[in-house]
Structure 1
């Protein structure tokens, strides 16, 4: 068994076709198929909540992947969701991972869907948290009130996370503060913050994903894997209705909505979320 704490596991690198992907790989290697974790909009390796990934690493190996051009990964930031997914598949190939479970949060959930369709035999099951199908209403996260926060250079990143992920309630404020404290647990070998091109490029890719005019239900019908869909009941970033659509249109999905929570429901309800994910994965 390897290290099981995200706060102290070393950052490692994998070189593929001239691109160096940063990753953190830790947990119980005797616990069955690994869990590949795909990050949110502008998120880096340091944005994974230790309360979630450390607990899941007790059961199985957890692999935190950083896409091209983000943090300490090299290369250009991919301009489309399909390109982001292709990078993740190349990363899986480089690590010789024949099959994985995938946890995709927000933007990461977009990639998870693309990967499941592109290489279905390489995916055992999927967790989609705070995500949306292609063509999902509001999935581009380009509403003015959100863009104002993304582009506010004077606002600290921790403040942005609090405003975007948590409700403006006493309970939400307390959950946000606890979440930020957990992210700060890692003291050394911290990731680089996302460069200035990351937000713009990823946002345009998400807008294109949201504006897709195809048949989303026909597309989702191709994903026959077991899927756990989770979100808060009032997600202001990627509207909660998208999670409901995912659960209705995916052939083998379970939906959990957490009360009085938004996009960061998995962080606000970390202990409960971990219990739900563990139960789901143990059944696969």
Structure 2
């Protein structure tokens, strides 16, 4: 079942939010899915099918997908408050699980640090604890951090499609991609560049899964290994082949383990 969409204003930010939940149990723990930088919710649709028994929300960040541009820049802390408010509005008084991919994994960490009693389980996929950990490909790092890359919409679209190819996007994923706005991407980059949750991660007490791809050239597996050092009780799961976008392009390679983890089942083996 694909996402259904509606727009909602939370803490002054208007977001387009993808919903799934018609086949979920009333007692199932809701799942908040957080996407990569500049990505629209449709790119997470295939991965979300791995969690049919629970309600799923996948918000698009300002300037991504069909969410309007932010009026002002925001911090990761503000966006984390926004996500917690969204989940409280949709599921009053209930804890939720969070699954963050890439930039969304950074936001998921901030949510877990800011509202630890609200997050029941935390899955971090191909993500980072914040700069200055490097990106494997220096040219990718230059394009991501150069503000001039976001001024021209046509250049922005060209760069994003190049990054999708480098990350291992499938043809189906490319067709579903909607180019974000320069303001939307710029705000996400600025929020990440000034952020790190690393000092607080050793204090996390909810179950955490760290998943990464050994061939990821955008967020190298070293980022997951660094997170494993910061979160002593975290479980790690490494996919030995595949690039950064494997979780979205070929979700069958990683979705079963994510589903097991979110259902409370312990580790088996890496794939």
Same fold (TM over 0.5): yes
Structure 2 unmatched ranges of 5 or more: 150-154, 266-271
Cα 1:176/1:93, change in 2 over 3 Å: same
Q: Give a deviation string over 1:211-253, Cα, whole Å, max 9, x none.
A: x5x9x3x421111111111111032212221101112321321
1:189 aligned partner:
none
The match for 2:48 among 31, 46, 53 is: 53
Q: Deviations over 1:66-114 (max 9, x none)?
A: 2344333344364322222122122223223421110100111111111
Change beyond 3 A, Cα 1:69–1:83: farther
Superposition TM-score, scaled by structure 2 size: 0.81
- The alignment status of 1:118 with 2:110, answered yes or no, reads no
Q: Which runs of structure 2 are paired with 1:57-206 in the superposition (5 Å)?
A: 58-74=52-68, 75-76=70-71, 78-97=73-92, 98-135=94-131, 137-138=133-134, 143-148=138-143, 151=149, 152-153=155-156, 155=158, 157-163=160-166, 165-166=167-168, 176-180=170-174, 183=176, 193-206=179-192
Question: How big is the shift at 1:148?
Answer: 3.9
Q: Which of 252, 262, 267 does residue 281 from structure 1 map onto?
A: 262
Query: How far is the alpha carbon of 1:40 from its aligned partner?
Result: 0.7
Q: Which residue of 2 aligns with 1:240?
A: 221
RMSD: 2.8
SS across alignment from 1:11: strand
Shift of 1:18: 4.1
1:157, CA displacement in angstroms? 4.7
Provide closer, same or farther for how the CA distance between residues 113 and 43 of structure 1 changes in structure 2, counting only shifts above 3 A: same
Structure 1: which 5+ runs fail to align?
167-174, 185-191
